[in-house]
Amino acid sequence: MDIAASEFLGLLNLDWQILVMLVIGGLLIYLGIAKNVEPVLLIPIGTGILLANIPLGGMVEEGGLLAVLRKAGIETELFPLLIFIGIGAMIDFGPFLERPYTILLGAAAQFGIFGTFFLAYLFGDGWLRIMDFSLKDAASIGIIGSADGPTSIYVSTMLESKYAAPIVVAAYSYMALVPIIQPPIMRWLTTKEERCLEMPIKVKKVAQKTKIIFPIATVLVVSMIAPKATPLIGCLMFGNLLRECGVVERLSAAAQNELANIVTILLGLTVGGMMIASQFLKPETVLIFVMGIAAFTLDTAAGVIFGKIMYVLSRHKINPLIGAAGISAFPMSARVVQKVGLQENPHNHLLMHAAGANTAGQIASVVAGGAMLMLVPLFS
Chain centre to alpha carbon of residue 175:
5
pLDDT at residue 65, as a whole number: 95
pLDDT at residue 249, as a whole number: 96
Return d(Cα 316, Cα 260) in angstroms, integer.
Answer: 40
pLDDT at residue 188, as a whole number: 96
pLDDT over 70 (residue 7): no
pLDDT at residue 308, as a whole number: 96
- Dihedral over Cα of 86, 92, 97, 99: its sign: negative
pLDDT at residue 6, as a whole number: 55
Cβ proximity of 178 and 336 under 8 Å: yes
Provide the domain limits for residue 80.
5-379
Residues 152-207 pLDDT 10s: 989 998 998 888 878 887 887 777 778 888 999 999 999 999 999 999 877 778 99
Mean pLDDT of 2-18: 68
pLDDT over 50 (residue 1): no
pLDDT at residue 125, as a whole number: 75
Burial-class residue 118 by CB neighbours within 10 Å (0-12, 13-18, 19+). Answer: exposed
**This prediction's pTM:** 0.88
Residues 220-264 pLDDT 10s: 999 998 898 999 999 999 999 999 999 999 999 999 999 999 999
pLDDT over 60 (residue 213): yes
Residues in contact with 49: Cβ distance below 8 Å, sequence separation at least 6, in sequence order: 21, 22, 24, 25, 28, 272, 273, 275
pLDDT over 80 (residue 25): yes
Q: Is omega for the bond preceding 331 within 30 degrees of 0, making it cis?
A: yes
Return d(Cα 53, Cα 153) in angstroms, integer.
Answer: 22
pLDDT at residue 148, as a whole number: 83
pLDDT over 80 (residue 332): yes
pLDDT at residue 2, as a whole number: 42
Higher pLDDT: 48 or 11? It is: 48
The domain tally of the chain equals 1
Mean pLDDT of 303-308: 96
Cβ proximity of 32 and 46 under 8 Å: yes
